[in-house]
Structure 1
Amino acid sequence: MFISFNGFSKDKLVAHQAEINMSGIMENGKIQGSAYMGCNRMSFTAEFKKGGKVKISKGVSTTKACQDMELETSFQKIFDTMTHYAVEGHFLTLSDESGNSMKFVAADWD
């Protein structure tokens, strides 16, 4: 579950059912992931490396037009710029060199 993202309240993230899923099959050290921000389904690959580094591919997405796409548009603009990760208990935080960050909690927690 998505719980923190630049300027979007937790209530808005919950209302949009915003989430990422990184439980996809691992191939060549990469994870097949998906994301949902309330409108379109997106897919991507992620490679977590030693030292808290992450490389996220440019995602692909379905192309539905929805009434409120602000969250989705903002997410798509910076998700693949995330270069660092930290895991603390059930929380995953992704961040980039520009100070953007996003925080998630495991679906079976909170």
Structure 2
Amino acid sequence: MKFLQSIGILSLILLLTVSCKSSKNSMSGMQNLHKKWMLVEYKDFTKEELVKLEANIDLTKNEESPNRYTAKMGCNGLFFTADFNNGKAKFSGVGSTMMYCDGRMKLEEAFGKALPNMTEYKIEGHFLTLSNANGDTMKFVEQDWD
């Protein structure tokens, strides 16, 4: 009888360990997405321009507004709503503060117009790529990687 109880308890422990591990693995892709990313490739902007402007998108989760995120492309703060699910992305409600910064507006304007058209995301290593059906892409690297 004690032998059967021991097997039952070990089976339960094994089952709980495996089920917790698999749920953790299924969430790891989304957890990898929710961090700050530096823009490194976009249209005809050079990497040097993007670094100088400190162009970034912050996808860190906020408990109060779970689907609200921010970005900065050199001057104004941008804000938007986004949903991510199995490689699909939907951006909406893109807005920004309203300052003028001489020589720093071109990227911000292009990014703000293009972001709502991005429909897919892909994470490869330390890189995040947003893209759409037209072949337009935005490539980012993890903030703490580059």
Provide closer, same or farther for how the CA distance between residues 89 and 83 of structure 1 changes in structure 2, counting only shifts above 3 A: same
1:45 to 62, 81, 99: 81
SS in 1 for 2:75: coil
| C-alpha distance in structure 2 between counterparts of 1:94 and 1:26, whole Å | 24
Greater share of residues in strand: 1
Normalising to structure 2: TM-score of the pair?
Answer: 0.69
Structure 1 27/94 Cα, relative in aligned 2: closer, same or farther at 3 Å? farther
- Higher-RCO chain (CA-CA 8 Å, sequence separation at least 6): 1
Structure 2 matches for 1:1-110, cutoff 5 A? 1-25=38-62, 31-50=67-86, 52-68=87-103, 69-110=105-146
After superposition, the Cα gap between the structure-2 partners of 1:27 and 1:96, relative to the gap in structure 1 and judged at 3 Å, is farther
The CA RMSD measured in Å over matched residues stands at 1.6
- Using the TM superposition, give the Cα deviation of residue 27 of structure 1 relative to its aligned residue in structure 2, in angstroms: 7.3
Q: TM-score, structure 1 length as denominator?
A: 0.91
Which structure has more helix as a fraction of its residues? 2
Q: Which has the larger radius of gyration?
A: 2
Q: Which runs of 5+ in 1 are unaligned?
A: none
List 4+ stretches of structure 1 deviating above 3 A: none
Unaligned runs of 5+ in 2: 1-37
Contact 1:23 1:31 in 2 (8 A): no
The alignment-based identity, stated in percent, is 44
Shift of 1:20: 0.5
Answer yes or no: is the 8 Å Cα contact 1:32–1:45 preserved in 2. Answer: yes
How many residues are paired up? 108
